[in-house]
Amino acid sequence: MSELIAFKNGEFMPLSQASVSVMDLGITNGASVTDFLRTFHHEPFRLDDHVDRFFRAAKNAYLDQPYTKEFVKETSCELLRRNAEIYPECELGMVFYITAGVNSVYAGSAAKPGPLQPTYIQHVFPLPFDSWKKLYRQGVDMATPAVPHLPPNCVSPKGKHRNRLHMWVGDHQIQSLDPSVMGLYLTQDGLITETGGSNFVIYTGGKVVSPRRRNILWGVSLKVLTELLAAEGIPFEEDDIDVFDVVNADEALLTTTPYCLAPVKSINGLAIGGGGEFPFFRRMLGAWSKLVNKDLYEEITASKPINYR
């Protein structure tokens, strides 16, 4: 049996050895940023975009990157190559992760750390397409939790981070009533933002509308969608949208790295559009499939559970 390979602080190693200390500031203070990409045909998709965003997020969070962008890209390709040999039948997801490092005198704010060395990790896993069959075939049911999204003047959404306790709580609130529902978070003023792992857009009046980027992580997959829309001649805009706008849209979509796009069936128990017919989703998924030379609908709906090594 072969174990997945990770990269930590300059070394390739078995994934089980790429651990983080309990004294790491990424754990004790949440002082960390991350990013995530996937492969198509075992090749990293939009590697430059993800690495650029990862570096920008680290800079904003006062985290010193120990490597250059070129080194990170080369390491990424090598890491994917090694893990593709272990799971040749699977597409892969790859996580970037950096923390402020280990503070050996952690005592809240009562003691300051000495010089810190950042903890840097990249790890890979096979993408579980079988988990997302229902999303493609039936659409996503969504609800808006009582917990609001973090305001942008608190933690900037422009960088990808793991400060998502509010989403953990909000998802549990709604899933205690219906485990199949996905949380869609609102600003304190009731405007739509995003989910815990995807961007959200609506298709209405012949155009696609996204929440304004000041309130969301501007996803790489959302960027790809805007490019596909432009090629199809479909207008795209950012605006303030609320649940009223979503309910009255023709369709709603999620866009995210692992499964690219998914149709949204309902929000807060109310059907969106036809409530089960998703022609615009299939059109845009077809355009994405052409871009990556792969039938993405088939990839998800015909998938089987992963044979984990």
Those residues whose C-beta lies under 8 Å from the C-beta of residue 295, and which sit 6 or more positions away, are: 289
Residue 96 has pLDDT above 60, yes or no: yes
Nearest C-alpha neighbor of 262 from the set 297, 220, 298: 297
- Rounded to the nearest integer, the mean pLDDT of the chain is 95
What Cα–Cα distance (Å) separates residue 62 from each residue in 115, 164, 255? 13, 19, 29
Query: pLDDT tier at 110 (50, 70, 90 boundaries)?
Result: low
Q: If you average pLDDT over residues 60-87, what whole number do you get?
A: 97
Residue 288 has pLDDT above 60, yes or no: yes
H or E segment at 43? Answer: strand 43-44
Please, are residues 18 and 123 in contact by the beta-carbon 8 Å criterion? Answer: yes
Residue 109 has pLDDT above 70, yes or no: no
CA angle 220, 201, 158 (to 5 degrees): 40
Residue 1 has pLDDT above 80, yes or no: no
At position 205, the amino acid (one-letter code) is G
CA angle 300, 303, 304 (to 5 degrees): 150
Residue 158: both structure tokens together: 């422009």
Residue 70 has pLDDT above 90, yes or no: yes
Q: If you average pLDDT over residues 275-292, what whole number do you get?
A: 94
Residue 111 has pLDDT above 70, yes or no: no
Query: pLDDT tier at 107 (50, 70, 90 boundaries)?
Result: low
What local confidence, expressed as pLDDT, does residue 276 receive? 77
Q: If you average pLDDT over residues 152-159, what whole number do you get?
A: 90
What local confidence, expressed as pLDDT, does residue 104 receive? 83
Q: If you average pLDDT over residues 42-58, what whole number do you get?
A: 98
Using CA atoms, how far apart are residues 242 and 202, in angstroms rounded to an integer? 11
Domains and CATH numbers, the chain: 5-127 (3.30.470.10), 132-301 (3.20.10.10)
Model pTM? Answer: 0.94
Residue 187 zone, left/alpha/beta (φ > 0; ψ -120 to 50; rest): beta
H or E segment at 99? Answer: strand 92-99
Q: What phi and psi values does residue 131 have, to the nearest 5 degrees?
A: -70, -20
What local confidence, expressed as pLDDT, does residue 249 receive? 97
Q: What phi and psi values does residue 196 have, to the nearest 5 degrees?
A: -70, -10
| % of the chain at pLDDT higher than 90 | 88
β-strands 119-126, 140-143: how paired? Answer: unpaired
* SS3 call for 232: helix
Please, are residues 251 and 280 in contact by the beta-carbon 8 Å criterion? Answer: yes
Residue 226 has pLDDT above 80, yes or no: yes
Using CA atoms, how far apart are residues 59 and 226, in angstroms rounded to an integer? 26
